[in-house]
Amino acid sequence: MAERKDRLCSALEKLFRERNVELFVSALAITGCSERAEDAVQEAFYRLFRLQDRPRHLKAYVFRSVRNAALDQVQRNRPNCPIPIEDYEGIFDWREGPGDTAVMNELRRDVAQGMKTLSEDERETIINHIYADLSFREIARIRGVSINTAGSWYRRGMEKLRRELGNKP
């Protein structure tokens, strides 16, 4: 029993080290606030380290736990503050380098602004698929929906983003 618990803790630590940014971004997509997103990730891992057995799909289980903790944060801390544009821009890694141009920075801002026009389901799915590197199957498991529903949220959200970006001068 203790050996299983140690293996689970090691697996959780490894997953956190490899995916902490993606977990934070997933929580941010729901909470709308950096502080709440951090709290959600911490709360989820506090609960996860108390598990006795390793879940079958650990990565999906961890992301679902973070999602649930983020939803709890939103419930406890009404009203939900909208995600400031700066937080969405942070998702896109804003470190400037020699290759960055004014055009690229403007595109990033436009995409970040466009994310605010999406439904919560579309936004969360796009962020989880692109930035958290989750498959549609994993997203479906996390959200408790069919893989077709997850794919539809992604497709509709991407279509809205394309239209939004196409309307920019």
Can you tell me the distance from the alpha carbon of 103 to that of 100, in angstroms, rounded to the nearest whole number?
8
Residue 45: what pLDDT? Answer: 92
* Residue 127: Cβ within 10 Å count: 22
Can you tell me the distance from the alpha carbon of 148 to that of 166, in angstroms, rounded to the nearest whole number?
26
Confidence of residue 6 (pLDDT cuts 50, 70, 90): confident
pLDDT per residue as tens digits for the range 46-100: 999 888 888 888 888 999 999 999 999 888 876 555 555 455 555 555 455 555 5
